[in-house]
Chain A
């Protein structure tokens, strides 16, 4: 097993919610990330899936230093990075790069894309102008954009093309870890396949590690060694990808599997999806006990055990490299609901 590159411990990112544009009043706090512990090993891909609003982006932003943690630690090769400043911070930041969910917001509309890709090179004074230009063109080609596009502006590109620009920029400084936040979600499947293969090739060649955030479980499966599932600011399950999909142990993971669209019309027509009842709870006031209990299909089937409402299940190890935060993980794994969801999640072979 390779060495730990990044280690996140008991990380909390609480964001004050303000009202009013002029006179800002704090009206509460959103517990966007609320006690996350995880490791990313050298050269590994850790997939991150989970409910919309569960804190995946915030976790990624905290790791690359874009949002300060409220508590907990983030260490890169053992060195705490969240409190670094000055040159140390800049060096650490060049090793931790992020590709954003929203390609529109992350590119400066006034700059030709070559300039955006060049920016990190300029900030870190890498090479002279000609060398930087050459490197930019190389990077654009690397992500499947023709050199002719270098002088285009973001609004002249399609959504997918813009996403590739963001990727080129993140790779400019040869980082050790790239947080890819929905980086391939806007791409068509063929270019997505190219980029996934590319990410894998870069990983082998450069020893890159990825924290790969995405909603499409099949995409996450394709690229990840291990997968973490987030719900309401916390990790509820973490396993090697194969185990997670063959033998999910958290009821939320099962509902994800049951809802994941399968490229097979006959399966889609036949399949039942677990509908999560009720509203997603507020990250400002998470439910007591198990955070998932207000929507859990298993709790209902088990006759509403009290422990789900009163005691918070901790993420505990249940097998080699497998952890889950549910009081009834064994029951979840054995449930026929789980079996059906697993059987159809891959479509008919």
Chain B
């Protein structure tokens, strides 16, 4: 359904080049839900914006392909791409504030979205808008239609965004942190809604979230990103049970949990990579308790690990007995300063 191949995206800024996405490959099955997790700044949003061809100014796709319905989206004309965006792929942006028009009542914004791709009368569009707002759990939708975005709570704005995305009845929905601002009961409701969409229409979903609980609930498969690359990808159960990449292990250790006594969280030591000056070797090496010599010089590629469904990009993946809670068991580890820098790595 969607196949991203070796996507590379860079931003040119006044100060230099930001290597935001450095060879991402992803596959989404029809009706499947792919979860995208990863460090803040690892390129999840930029990857999805590149798929939609909505990169902000300064960003460009350097290479790669985005196959969708037999076409490479990156080669479509602007008009063709607009029609794909209107009818086939919808996206819920991470930031509802910037994607809603502040001076237009939300009702009109939803109606506009409906009428942009369906020939329906105004009253019919209005009725759909009411129905959609109800579906995303907004009380008395008729009353809310006339409200401006700033008059709604953060969670309500986010649901308006979701309503707009669903209005398109897309076959692929890219949802970037769609429930971050929602309380857990409304979140559950919205996630159900996404699931209905996949069940009824057979739509596929790319779900971006750093909430591993949501991933456990929703994703069939999870891809973990770090420094603009996918470093591990596996079916959900497998990823939670047998994480292989040291970054994934670190992620699972840093989740707070409700049950039992409160314990100190174990964050991943060290700082995130500088995407303007990527290291030569594995970008995680400075923070990695598992690293070996090769990690400083060679960037490992994503390859199958145990079984064909589990991919990992690591010279020396974690063994199950190394994965439990607590500190890594390799003795004498300390996070290192960034290694010798090689500018402009492809």
Q: Which residues of A contact B (CB under 8 A)?
A: 17, 19, 21, 49-54, 57, 101-102, 104-105, 144, 146, 148, 151-152, 155-161, 182, 185-194, 196-197, 215-219, 221-222, 241-242, 245, 255-257, 259-268, 273-276, 279-282, 345-347, 349
Q: Which chain A residues border B138 with CB–CB below 8 Å?
A: 279-280
Docked-complex contact A215 and B182, CB < 8 angstroms: yes
Q: Known contacts A221-B262, A347-B257: does B98 contact A186 (CB below 8 Å)?
A: no
Mark out the residues of chain B between 106 and 147 whose CB falls within 8 Å of any chain A CB in the assembled complex. Answer: 134, 137-140, 143, 146-147
What CA separation (Å) do A53 and B139 show in the bound complex?
11
Is there an interface contact between B216 and A52, defined as CB atoms closer than 8 Å?
no
Assess the A196–B256 pair: CB atoms within 8 A.
yes
User: Number of contacting residues on B, CB 8 A?
Assistant: 73
Q: What residues of B have a CB within 8 angstroms of the CB of A197 in the complex?
A: 264-265, 267
B305 touches A (CB below 8 Å): no
Residues of A within 8 A of B210 (CB): 187-189, 192
Interface centre among B185, B265, B267 (most CB of A within 10 A): B185
Q: Is the CB of B216 within 8 A of A264?
A: yes
How far is A256 from B182 in the complex, measured between Cα atoms in Å?
A: 12
Which chain B residues numbered 200 to 216 have a C-beta less than 8 Å away from chain A?
210-216
The answer to whether A57 touches B184, judged by C-beta atoms less than 8 angstroms apart, is no
Q: A residues within 8 A CB of B38? A: 188
Interface contact A185-B95, CB-CB below 8 Å: no
Chain B residues in the interface with A (C-beta under 8 A): 11, 13, 15, 18, 37-42, 45, 56, 94-95, 97-98, 103, 134, 137-140, 143, 146-147, 151-156, 177, 180-189, 210-217, 236-237, 240, 250-252, 254-260, 262, 264-268, 271-272, 274, 276
Q: Please pick, from B94, B140, B185, B240, the residue contacting A259 in the complex, using a CB distance under 8 A.
A: B185
Report whether B140 and A52 are in contact in the complex, using a CB–CB cutoff of 8 Å: no
Instruction: Report the minimum CB–CB distance from B43 to chain A (whole Å).
Output: 9
Q: CA–CA, A158 to B15, complex, Å?
A: 17
Q: Are A218 and B257 in contact (CB under 8 A)?
A: yes
B18 touches A190 (CB 8 A): no
A245 partner residues in chain B, CB cutoff 8 A: 258
| Residues in B whose Cβ lies below 8 Å from that of A102 | 95, 97, 154
Q: Which residues of A contact B13 (CB under 8 A)?
A: 152, 156
Q: Are B216 and A219 in contact (CB under 8 A)?
A: no
CA distance A187 to B216 in the complex (A): 18
Specify which of A51, A192, A265, A282 is in contact with B185 (CB 8 Å cutoff): A51
